[in-house]
Amino acid sequence: MIREHDTAIALFAREPEWGRVKTRLEPELGKEGALAMHERLIRHMVSVLGNAGLAHLHLFVDGDPDHPLFRDSAAELPRFRQADGHLGQRMQAAASQLLKTHDRVLLIGADCVSVDASYLETALERLRGDTEVVLGPAEDGGYVLLGLRRADLLLFGAMPWGTEQVLERTRQSLRQQQLCWQELEPRWDLDRPEDLARLSSLANWPASSALRPGSRAVPG
C-alpha cells in the first residue's frame, strides 16, 4: 500500500549496453561482469523502492524504456525516456513532469544501493513544513538522493556533474537562493571497484529480479 500518495520517486537508470555502463568496474569485473552488475543494480533498486510502499515509483531511462530488462524488472511501473541534455537537465525535466501531479518528488540513481526504505522515509519526513529541498549526500562528493517540492530551482545548470564538487556546489546554490533545505546522513553508491565489497553489508542484497509476490508498485 502506498503511504505517500502525493509523493513520486524518479529512479534514473541507463539502458544496459556493452562497454557503456559501469565502466569503472571493468578492471575488476570485465565488460561482461560490469554489464551484469549494472543490471543487478537496477533490479535491486526497483525491488527496494517498489517494495518500500512509500511513494509512486517511476523509471526514467537513458535509452529505451522498453528494453527487455525494464519490461521484466519494472513491468508495472510507468517508464519514460530521459530528456535530452546533461544530467541536470534530465533531472529537472523529470522533476517538472512528476511535480505536475505530485506535491513532492525524490530523485535517485540506480547505483545508489545504500538507499533503503528507512532512508526514504526519513527523506519524506524532512520534506515537509518549510523544507523545500532534501539532500542525501554521497561519500564521493555527489548525492544519492535529491528531494524537491519545486522544480524551478537553480540546482541543475552549470554543475560539474560526475565530480566530487557537486554536493558543495549544490549547497552554495541553495545558500545563494536562500532556500530552506535539510541533509540526511551520507551514504554510498556503487561506482568503484572498492565499492563491490560493501554489497555484502546490504541486508537485502542480492534483490529478487522483480517485486516480491503479492507486492505491487502503484503507478502514479
- At residue 214, the pLDDT reads 34
β partners of residue 12 = 60, 109
pLDDT of residue 159: 85
Q: What per-residue confidence (pLDDT) applies to 33? A: 94
Predicted confidence at residue 148, as pLDDT, reads 97
59 falls within a domain: yes
Q: What is the pLDDT along the chain (220 residues), one digit of tens a residue?
A: 566 568 999 999 999 998 889 999 999 999 999 999 999 999 999 999 999 999 999 999 999 999 999 999 999 999 999 999 999 999 999 999 999 999 999 999 999 999 999 999 999 999 988 899 999 999 988 999 999 999 998 899 878 888 889 999 999 999 999 999 999 999 999 999 999 999 988 888 874 434 343 333 443 4
pLDDT at 164: 87
- Angle at which helix 26-52 crosses helix 117-126, to 10 degrees, equals 60
CB 59 within 8 A of CB 42: no
Report the CATH number that the domain containing residue 125 is assigned in CATH.
3.90.550.10
For residue 118, being part of any structural domain is answered with yes
The pLDDT assigned to 19 comes to 86
Structural domain of 159: 4-198
Closest by Cα among 176, 94, 184 to 131: 184
Of how many residues is the chain composed?
220
- Residue 133, in any domain of the structure: yes
In a domain, 15, yes or no: yes
Contact, 100 vs 135, CB < 8 A?
A: no
Amino acid symbol at 158: A
Cell 552549470 belongs to 158
pLDDT at 41: 96
In-domain check, residue 214: no
Q: Is 170 within a domain? A: yes
Torsion angle, CA of 26/30/36/40, rounded to 10 degrees? -40
Q: Concatenate the DSSP letters of all residues of 67-120 into one string.
A: SHHHHHHTTTS-EEEPPSSSHHHHHHHHHHHHTTT-SEEEEEETT-TT--HHHH
* pLDDT value for 4: 59
Q: Is the pTM of this model over 0.85?
A: yes
Nine cell digits for residue 90? 534530465
- 163 located within any domain: yes
Beta-carbon contacts of residue 102 (< 8 Å; ≥ 6 apart) = 6, 7, 8, 56, 220
Q: Is position 129 within any domain?
A: yes
Placement of cell 549544490 in the chain: 170
Q: Is residue 48 within 8 Å of residue 116, measured between CB atoms?
A: yes
pLDDT value of residue 129: 83
Whole-angstrom Cα Rg for the chain: 16
The terminus-to-terminus CA distance of the chain in angstroms comes to 13
Q: How many domains does the chain have?
A: 1
| 81, 65 Cβ separation under 8 angstroms | yes
